[in-house]
Chain A
């Protein structure tokens, strides 16, 4: 279990991270959302023990990042937003180097390398030089590197940046699989569509503050307490709108050329009742749907676009 307690980082007069706190359990895939400069990378680097916090701390399975950074490093896999690959090194040699420094026993090393290569679908590239791999493959190799010691927590900083759509889809599937394997995965990104598919928890960060944290659905619900219904009719939009205004649970009605948008506080039963009332009143309804907010809407509502 990862517990972040009041983590803060200050660079002179600039506070990059302002005492954030959250906790994650095994199997959580946490999407860290924020604009460039929001403090995501700083937070991840503090969790990776590469940066010392100015205040606060974090514990992973009860081990404090400040008190025992070496123990923390054995439990984490850190993938920064750059590759950091070595030239003139073959894929297996690259993984062998990291398996050695993570103290994977020499007898198990080759088997571990084969396993992570298979997981990341790079087995056929085992004897290739790392600089000859495509960007997507290099990214997967970096992920394979993070897995050689079977970490508890994976810190992935902008893992999909610069990848083509296919490579991005493959990486998303791989990260989701890691979550299913019971690892805690923290994925930072400012591309929201990347995260929506496979994260079960998200945190929205701006100017060092964690503005929202929790499961994706509850954050969206929290941001949007009422339902937004969109109705399309073949008849008079104004007549239908005046009828709707008189119905229960309707808070507000806006009309367009051929549709009506309703701010509605009722449940699904009340929605069905509203639709039945319109049909019984003779309106020719050709569309009735609930408009669902997504992460992008929530993000835009919560943040102002300001950066540190």
Chain B
């Protein structure tokens, strides 16, 4: 594509998007918009009046107290805005695609020369516009804080930018679930669950890292914080002015946050586009390439954040640094448990839906990016290796990241992925229906990973992280849980998982041979 064609297409997609124009006409028509804005403004004004009356009830207040009170008010307004965005953005977006699917107008759109990307961006613009309208409507309230001395304009603008970026992330999450869901209720529920998990997870990481940094930088460089803290929804006023030092430069965190948000949104849009695209689409290939690149970059990013904690003796409140194998274990738990959300989509096959899900063999590295079932295992293994490669790259600056335990944990991670994948294959071989196979696969993974936890905790309450022999040795994620060296356990559990996985694949193959899928091998 030539540069001028690319510019024309981009302008058409982002500025003259037909979907956004149509939704804009509909959104501002009728009473719904007026009622929504009226309720929103009433809540904001009510909140402002309550705060004002509580401050005014005090007969005497020093200037310092008054300013602190104003700052608190400003902070509370922003938290209210964050909460409103977290509530409104998924609600507005979650039904965007699924409602069209139910109304069957999606078929009309996709019988026209429209790419999923174009359509999803249009929907995203429609929903994101509402987020900005909410923010703009709240400006008089925050402007009052500026006028009265509770905040300065630069803070207000940075905070608004951060809240709008969060709104963008929520919108992209909800849009992704809207492409997957079959019913609006499912889309709304999953969107809120994902937004809740995101807020909880990011806030946890942000606060943890900010706290750790605060202790390790007691010299007074409190403005320096990992940019992840800016992704947290309810710390906006505390983190708006923070920065990250990169190669000696103070880079404002809102810039890094914007970069992260855009990359995240791109990944979500690609995932949604891939879900709406047929076999062999570039959207799917792009999604897989992006996933590998993001896994690599995320690994580098997290390792660079945690790296100093591994070496700095004062990095923990206990005064002892985090050990490398502990770090590897925690990282593995996060990686492998997160993977169970996507494993059924990557692994399972069925002949009832589109061609991209039809069985086409067991392992074919050439189909890794095409996202057909035979490309599932190569992709999963590549994902684990991309994370490992990120660590290796980071070890150039932090050599202690890589140790004797690394090969064992890598072996365990690959074996776990192989075994989990083989479960999905077997679930598919038992059924003709893809959705049933995915549900079964997900249910088995959840059962294997989470059901044993309370039972094992009852059997041996203190054995989970102990290095000695325990009933916990039977648990599949045991090597990642051990507080001391879990290398031996990682090799052992990894080998068991490989054997189990191979047996399941053998079983799946023998079942698949008995079935006539009715698909022409020569097709395509």
Contacts and interface: CB of A to CB of B under 8 A. Distances in A.
B105 A73 contact: no
Given A10-B519, A80-B104, A84-B104, A101 B25 contact: no
Contacts of A69: 278
B26 interface: yes
Interface centre among B25, B107, B112, B278 (most CB of A within 10 A): B112
Interface string B97-112: 0000001110111111
Nearest to A93: B25
Interface string A97-118: 1101111000000000000000
A78 B111 CA distance: 7
B114 A50 contact: no
Nearest to B278: A52
B355 interface: yes
A180 interface: no
A76 B29 contact: no
Using C-beta atoms within 8 Å of the partner chain, give the interface range for chain A: 35 or more
A22 interface: no
A97 B22 contact: yes
Nearest to A75: B113
Given A12-B351, A52-B354, A102 B107 contact: no
B205 to A, nearest CB: 41
Nearest to B110: A50
A48 interface: yes
A156 B239 CA distance: 58
Contacts of B118: 101
A55 B523 contact: yes
A13 interface: yes
A70 interface: yes
A45 B22 CA distance: 26
Contacts of B18: 96-97, 100-101
Interface residues of B: mostly helix, strand, loop or mixed? loop
A87 interface: yes
Interface in B263-284: 278-279
B66 interface: no
B520 interface: yes
B352 interface: yes
A54 B523 contact: yes
Contacts of A96: 18
B111 A73 contact: yes
Interface string A47-68: 0111010110000000000100
Contacts of B524: 66
B319 interface: no
A101 B113 contact: yes
Contacts of B30: 88
Nearest to B26: A88
A76 B354 contact: no
Contact of A87 (B26, B108, B111, B520): B26
A74 interface: yes
Contacts of A12: 350-352, 432-433, 518
B21 interface: yes
Contacts of B103: 84, 86
Interface in B337-365: 350-352, 354-355
Contacts of A102: 112-113
Nearest to A89: B26
Contact of A76 (B16, B111, B520): B111
Given A12-B352, A101-B114, A102-B112, A54 B22 contact: no
Contacts of B104: 80, 82, 84
A137 B103 CA distance: 19
Interface centre among A8, A86, A102 (most CB of B within 10 A): A86
A54 B113 contact: no
A283 B403 CA distance: 114
Nearest to B25: A93
Nearest to B356: A52
Interface in B19-36: 19, 21-22, 25-26, 29-30
A40 interface: no
Contacts of B432: 12-13
Interface centre among B107, B113, B114 (most CB of A within 10 A): B113
Contacts of B111: 48-50, 73, 76, 78
B520 to A, nearest CB: 5
A118 B432 CA distance: 49
B518 A84 contact: no
Contacts of A13: 432, 518
A15 B107 contact: no
A89 B22 contact: yes
Contacts of B350: 12
Nearest to B105: A84
A122 to B, nearest CB: 17
A100 B108 contact: no
A279 B60 CA distance: 126
Contacts of B351: 10-12
B279 A52 contact: yes
Contact of A145 (B108, B114, B355): B108
A14 B24 CA distance: 43
Nearest to A6: B520
Contacts of A100: 16, 18, 21
Contacts of B109: 101
A82 B104 CA distance: 8
A89 B355 CA distance: 35
A182 to B, nearest CB: 21
B113 A97 contact: no
Interface in B401-451: 432-433
Contacts of A98: 108, 112
A104 to B, nearest CB: 11
Nearest to A72: B113
B122 to A, nearest CB: 9
A70 B114 CA distance: 8
B369 to A, nearest CB: 19
A103 B113 contact: yes
Interface centre among B19, B110, B519 (most CB of A within 10 A): B110
B109 to A, nearest CB: 7
Interface in B352-405: 352, 354-355
The 10 closest A-B pairs by CB, nearest first: A100-B18, A84-B105, A78-B111, A12-B432, A73-B113, A55-B520, A52-B355, A97-B22, A10-B518, A88-B26
Interface of A: 8, 10-13, 15, 45, 48-50, 52, 54-55, 66, 69-71, 73-74, 76, 78, 80, 82, 84-89, 93, 96-98, 100-103, 145
24 contacts: A10-B351, A12-B351, A12-B432, A12-B518, A50-B110, A52-B355, A54-B355, A55-B520, A70-B113, A71-B113, A74-B113, A78-B107, A80-B104, A84-B103, A84-B107, A85-B105, A86-B103, A88-B25, A88-B26, A89-B25, A93-B25, A101-B114, A102-B112, A102-B113
Given A52-B354, A89-B25, A89-B26, 18 more contacts: A11-B352, A12-B433, A12-B518, A13-B518, A45-B107, A50-B110, A52-B279, A54-B520, A54-B523, A66-B524, A69-B278, A73-B111, A73-B113, A78-B111, A80-B107, A89-B22, A97-B18, A100-B18
